[in-house]
Amino acid sequence: MGQRNKDVVQPKKVLLAPLDPVHDVGLKLIRRKLIDRGHDVTLLPPDLAPEEIVAKALEERPDFLMVSRALSYGTSELLAKFVDLCDAAGLRPSTKLVVGGLSMRPEMAQELGFDAGFGPDAPAEAAVDYVEGKEILSLAGSRPKEKSNLTKGFTYEFLDKEIGELCVGIAQQLIDWASKRTSPGITRAQLRLEIEEARREGRSEELKNLRAQYAKLCSGEVKRWYETGEPVSHTRLLTQKEMNEIAMLRDKKNDMVFPITQDILNDYNVLVQYGTGCPEMDAYHSIISVAWGARGVVHFDPSWGARTEGFLEQAWSHQHDGTVITLDNLNLIKSALLPGTLWQVRAHRGLNTPETVTLAHLSGADLTKINIVYGSLGAGTDPERLAVDGVESMKLAAKYNLPYDVVTNEELCGVPASKAFAGMLVVATAGILLGGRPLLQPLFANSPEAIITGVMDDNFIDFNVAKMRTLSSIIDAPIWPGAPVGFLTQTQDRCQSSAMTALHAALALDSGATAVTIASSDEAYAGGPITVPARIDTLKATAAALRFFGHGGIRPTSKSDEMTSQLREDIVNVLRRLSDRGDFVASLYEGILGDKEDGAYPGRAGKGTVFEIR
Amino acid sequence: MRIVIGVAGTAKNTGKTTTLLQTTEFFNSVGKDVFLTSIGYDGEDFDNITGLPKPRIFVPKGAMAASALSLLKSSPADFRDLRYTGVDCALGPVYVGTATSTGKVVLAGPTNTEDLISVIEFAPSDSPVLLDGAFSRLSPMVVADCLILATGATRSTDPVKLAKEVNAIFRVMSLPEVSDRPTERHATYDSSEAGSIGSDSVITIPNGLFLKGQGRKLGIRLVQDGMPSNVRVEGIVNPGVFLEILEVLGGFSKDTVNGRLPILFVFDHPIMLLLSGDIMLWDRVLDRLSQFGCGAAVKDTTRLLGVTINPYTLSQLDNGKFVAGQVDPKEFLENVRNRAKVPCTDIVLEGPSVLYSWLEQYV
């Protein structure tokens, strides 16, 4: 505002008229702002008849006539009639008509016939901008065109030297162990590159051979599709109509304009998950999410993708949640993303991790996900297999310059944060040693551990803040809580879910998170496709929470300090046990990072598929 | 010669969009490329206020549309030859373009008369220009050569009341046209200022008559200071305010007023009489003028072609949600039609043939 006050402006004559029996607070605020800027402002009393306002305007001949009125079915006709009166009275050529009030949006203002309209979310400055001739700035949103770089400015240096030394030792052992091994997942990732290259260059004979080799490394229904062409259950090929519609979005996306009222999240990296099953719906959901302030979107695939060796080809729609990962699907979705959309392509914690990273690279994704510990202990993949594939994936991500998150969702099984964080730190360290840029993804939720131990009985702030403080005191790396924040605090009540999501997001960002992933308000209990209104609910709630706290900050109690100390101590203890054991993969099986008592079970998918390299 | 056809409503949700669609379809069927624009915002999936589904607007291939640039660009009708009209609306600059394929479009065009005139200049001379109304807005329709009025059960579920309103509108819109160039002695009299009317035979009242008391003041002066033969009232006229003049003149004889010939009141346009106050009062005004031997005329007019009747109703539940319903379409139409002095049709009930019969003269 300081800079604004120094601008030289041409004073304008503004008539403010509350077309309302009582309320004129908004206009009084605008009056103050306009007077501060040197404009000639007259505020009429409330409850004048439209004709009286028009008569006054004919006397005053203002440059702008701004009216306020809460909108309802009946009052909309009143406003339309007012516009007609102004037009017929000959005011329009010299006087811009502006309307503001509850429920007002630019589309509504246009329908009523006003030159501009501002709703309750619009800042008073927007009206001032409009008066000063900055129409475009006032009415069109300024959705960022540049993507956020979530890892920019982080040194990846360990601030906690003791933990750093332990992590480096354990991670190096993991890398060394994996370097002597391979798996069908790693081979398929290589074959996928060759298949796509052959496909691009039209080498059909070679393509056929490569596919045959690839098919041999697949399992279940994916293998059957390569052999017989029979679709995987609950999938169908995308229709030409659907592909045309995505192409329409691709062609129109650069022309989409969003109102300023949706700009409030611009300063934050809030990402949303999509995965409706249908690439066209994903494209719409992505555009809508970004239109409502999300900086990025996260692709996730069906859960059977974790347990089935191999990916399909072509463009598919999937009947249930999760969108099938194929290069065609990813390319379609990518083509429709709005400029500046950060795009994470993640596989579902299983047997296709290296190929997911490869496809993320080929389709132009900005981020991916690699999760050795959670995939092993909470999601059903054999630890040995995921360790080998995970290390290879981190090598690929480094090669392709793709940052990735390392998640701690095993907390959802009941694994304590100390064990989950120790595992995450080791995997992230391995990534750093391999030249990558991992992002730490702590769970930001009412985890089973928290429920059982009661650390969140009093409030949801202390323990979550303790997690953030612990991690940021250990290593200078980006922290991206999720995914999504507020997990296990949401219910089938959309208001409650939006509020919980918003408060968790605000807390995470206030605690220094680089980014957050949020869920839609109906995501946990959708019982069907996630709806667009639910997406917007959550984004708007998050924006409102961030607006509410502003720079006021959220203050945890002193218990958070105790929790921080305890968590750091517990992490050190887990890392020492890992270090003493000297075999990271064996530690996964043996429960050092989560045992049956914690609800963690070493997965079995892909067991026996790791081979030593001779 | 270019023909400009307006589709206006007596209220929101009276069937303007459906009427516009059928009008577009008519001209398309006879091989005429229309030029479409809206004085508001129309063609969206869901109503901005009620949240209920709305009929979409389809433009045929070859048609032109004037709308906010962002809306033309996002239309699957793939508009080409986009040109800026020099007019801006609440959703940004208004452009014109030609549809290269049939497709949906959202219209957001010029919202005031002056801008509308500028935008219409972009229409080819042989293209019928279709103006889509908004809410009960009428003012920019002064640029239309003819008007189709949409009304229906959202305005009133009482067909008798609806027919009376339609007849009042029709009566006003049927006022005769007179020359815009009076040849007699001419003076301007501002009803808000003091001063003598004098003996001029023609006086002009600028800035309309729409504030309570203005009519009485003017009436007194007409009686006291002189009685012109011709009073030209520019701008908006409220029938209640106009009645004040007649109440003052009420004590005078039928044939002469203050020893002078009866007055001819000349208004800008019938639409200027329909923007303020209770339209039904014009019946009383015109009756009384007739009783006094005075006349009423307009400088310019828009012809009312007919009225479309929509049985759609809307009610709001306690939770704020709107629910659509309808009265009996056949009975409703017949009850209005039997009382109305202007042609009526329900496009959905009867098909578009009646509407088409109104439009055939413009082919």
A129 touches chain B (CB under 8 A): no
Which among A439, A444, A530 has a CA at the least distance from the CA of A481? A444
Tens digit of each residue's pLDDT (9 = 90 or more) over A335-372? 999 989 999 998 767 899 999 999 999 999 999 999 89
CA atoms within 13 A on the CB side of A445: 30
Assigned domain for A132 exists: yes
pLDDT for B222 equals 80
Task: Tell if the CB–CB gap between A83 and B139 is shorter than 8 Å.
Answer: yes
Q: Does B96 touch chain A (CB under 8 A)?
A: no
- What is the model's pLDDT at position A143? 67
> What three-state secondary structure class fits A581?
helix
Give me the amino acid identity at A161: K
Q: CB contact, 8 Å: B105 with chain A?
A: no
In angstroms, rounded to a whole number, what is the distance separating the alpha carbons of residues A327 and A314?
7
Cα–Cα dist B363/B360, whole Å: 6
Residues of B in contact with A257 (CB under 8 A): 70, 91-92
Reported as a pLDDT band with limits 50, 70 and 90, residue A3 is very low
| E strands, B243-328, in order | 264-267, 295-298, 303-310, 312-316, 322-326
- Label residue B186 by pLDDT band (50, 70, 90): low
The A residues from 54 to 93 touching B (CB cutoff 8 Å) are 54-55, 58, 71-73, 76-77, 80-81, 83-90, 92-93
More confident residue, A398 or A48: A398
Contacts of B235 in chain A (CB under 8 A): 88-90
For testing contact with chain A, the best of B41, B190, B237 (most A CBs within 10 A): B41
How far, in Å, CA of B284 to CA of B273, rounded? 13
Average confidence (pLDDT) over A558-573: 97
**In this predicted structure, what is the pLDDT of residue B257?**
53
What pLDDT band is residue B187 in, cutting at 50, 70 and 90?
low
How far B307 CA sits from the closest chain A CA (Å)?
A: 20
**For domain B4-174+302-362, is the CATH number 3.40.50?**
yes
Residues 6+ apart with CB under 8 A from A547: A264
Q: How many CB atoms lie within 10 A of CB B222?
A: 22
The rounded distance, in Å, linking the Cα atoms of A389 and A391 is: 6
pLDDT, position B200: 57
| pLDDT digit string, tens, across residues B20-54 | 999 999 999 999 999 999 999 998 878 777 778 88
Tokens of A59: 């006397």
If you count residue pairs, one on A and one on B, with CB atoms under 8 Å apart, how many are there? 138
User: Which has the minimum average pLDDT: A401-415, A418-432, B114-128?
Assistant: A401-415
Long-range contacts from A21-28, C-beta under 8 angstroms, 24+ separation: A21/A46, A21/A47, A22/A46, A22/A47, A23/A68, A23/A70, A24/A68, A26/A68, A26/A100, A26/A101, A26/A124, A27/A66, A27/A68, A27/A100
Long-range contact set of residues A537-540: C-beta below 8 Å, sequence gap at least 24: A537/A494, A537/A498, A538/A272, A538/A497, A538/A498, A538/A501, A538/A502, A539/A265, A539/A270, A539/A272, A539/A289, A539/A292, A539/A293, A539/A294, A540/A292, A540/A498
CB atoms within 10 A of CB B217: 18
Average pLDDT, chain A: 91
Q: What is the pLDDT of residue B209?
A: 95
A87 with B140: Cβ contact below 8 A:
yes
Query: pLDDT tens-digit profile of B234-271?
Result: 999 999 999 999 888 876 555 555 555 578 999 999 99
Picking from B259, B326, B222, the residue whose alpha carbon sits closest to that of residue B13 is B326
Q: Residue A22: its pLDDT value, please? A: 66
Are the beta carbons of A87 and B11 separated by less than 8 Å? no
Please give the residue that has the higher pLDDT: either A74 or A408: A408
Decide if pLDDT at A228 tops 90: yes
pTM of the predicted structure, to 2 decimals: 0.66
- Across the interface, do B238 and A255 touch by the CB < 8 Å criterion? no
C-alpha atoms less than 13 angstroms from C-alpha of A263 in its C-beta half-sphere: 17
pLDDT surpasses 90 at A141: no
Which amino acid belongs to residue A328?
D
Q: Is the predicted pLDDT of residue A6 greater than 60, yes or no?
A: no
- A62 occurs within a structural domain: yes
Residue A107 falls inside a structural domain = yes
- Continuous segment of H or E residues that includes residue A215: helix A204-216
pLDDT bin (cut points 50, 70, 90) of residue B196 is very low
Which is more confidently placed, A305 or A36? A36
pLDDT of residue A105: 84
Q: Please indicate whether, in this complex, the C-beta atoms of A113 and B276 are within 8 angstroms of each other.
A: no
pLDDT at A41: 96
User: What burial class does residue A477 get, using C-beta atoms within 10 Å of its C-beta: 0-12 exposed, 13-18 middle, 19+ buried?
Assistant: buried
Q: pLDDT tens digits for A122-140? A: 778 888 888 988 754 444 5
Is residue A446, in this structure, part of any structural domain at all?
Answer: no
Q: In the predicted model, what is the mean pLDDT of residues A383-406?
A: 97
pLDDT tops 60 at residue A303: yes
Owner of token pair 């009756």 = B287
Helix and strand numbers (H, E) in chain B are 10, 20
* pLDDT greater than 80 at residue A525: no
What average pLDDT does range B9-26 have in this prediction?
93
Domain containing residue A30: 12-139
Question: Residue A483's pLDDT band (boundaries 50, 70, 90)?
Answer: confident
- The CATH number of the domain where A53 resides is what? 3.40.50.280
Q: With a cut of 80, say whether residue A528 has pLDDT above it.
A: no
Yes or no, beta carbons of A255 and B276 under 8 Å apart: no
Close Cβ partners of B191 (under 8 Å, ≥ 6 residues apart): B205, B207, B209, B214, B217, B218
CA A412 – CA A598 distance, rounded (Å)? 10
pLDDT band at A259 (very low <50, low <70, confident <90, very high): low
Closest approach of B102 to chain A, Cα-based (Å): 14
Structural domain contains residue A122: yes
Query: For helices B214-225 and B239-249, what crossing angle results, to 10°?
Result: 30
CB atoms within 10 A of CB A244: 11
Measured between beta carbons, which residues in chain B are less than 8 angstroms from residue A55? Answer: 192, 210-211
Model pLDDT, residue B228 = 79
CB contact under 8 A, B70 and A107: no
3-state secondary structure of A42: strand
* B195 — pLDDT class (breaks 50, 70, 90): very low
Q: What is the mean pLDDT of residues A493-514?
A: 94
Per-residue model confidence (pLDDT) at position A133: 83
> Residue A2 has what pLDDT?
38
Q: A61 in a domain, yes or no? A: yes
List the single residue in B with minimal CA-CA distance to A130.
B90
Out of B92, B114, B142, the one facing A257 most closely (by C-beta) is B92
Q: Which tokens in the block code for residue A237?
A: 């090929």
Task: Tell me what pLDDT residue A256 has.
Answer: 78
State whether residue B113 sits within 8 Å of chain A by CB: yes
Contacts of A126 in chain B (CB under 8 A): none
Per CB-CB distance under 8 Å, the chain B contacts of A67 are none
Q: Does B39 touch chain A (CB under 8 A)?
A: yes
Nearest neighbour of B135 by CB, restricted to A76, A109, A256? A76
Contact B91, A107 (CB under 8 A): yes
Q: Which uninterrupted H or E stretch holds A161?
A: helix A161-179
Tokens found for residue B304: 């009312």
pLDDT at A19 over 90: no
B311 pLDDT higher than 60: yes
The domains of chain B are located at 4-174+302-362, 186-298
Nearest CA to CA, how far is A22 from chain B (Å)? 22
A87–B134: do the CB atoms touch at under 8 Å?
A: no
* Least reliable range by pLDDT among A283-287, A500-504, B68-72, B182-186: B182-186
- Other C-beta atoms closer than 10 Å to the C-beta of A254 total 10
CA dist A321 and B227 (Å) reads: 82
Put simply, whether B276 touches A (Cβ < 8 Å) is yes
Whether A586 is in a domain gets the answer no
Is A55 within 8 Å of B89 when comparing Cβ atoms? no
How many domains does chain A fold into? 1
CB-CB under 8 Å, B90 with A116: yes
Q: Check pLDDT > 80 for residue A103.
A: no
What ipTM goes with this model? Answer: 0.91
| Torsional sign, CA A327, A328, A330, A334 | positive
Cα nearest neighbour of A257 on chain B: B70
CA distance B272 to chain A (A): 7
Q: Measure Cα distances from A127 to A260, B187, B352 in Å.
A: 11, 42, 45
Pick the residue from chain B with its C-alpha nearest to A108.
B48
Work out the mean pLDDT of chain B and round it to a whole number: 89
- Tokens encoding A472: 């940021």
Residues in chain B with CB shorter than 8 Å from the CB of A106 are 90-91
Q: List the one residue out of B159, B161, B165, B168 whose CA is nearest residue B331.
A: B159
Summarize the confidence of residues A86-108 as an average pLDDT.
91
Q: Cβ A111–B236 below 8 Å, yes or no?
A: no
A187-198 pLDDT per residue, tens? 999 999 999 999
Average pLDDT (A1-16) is 70
CB atoms near residue B354 (< 10 Å) = 15
Residue of A nearest to B210 (CA): A51
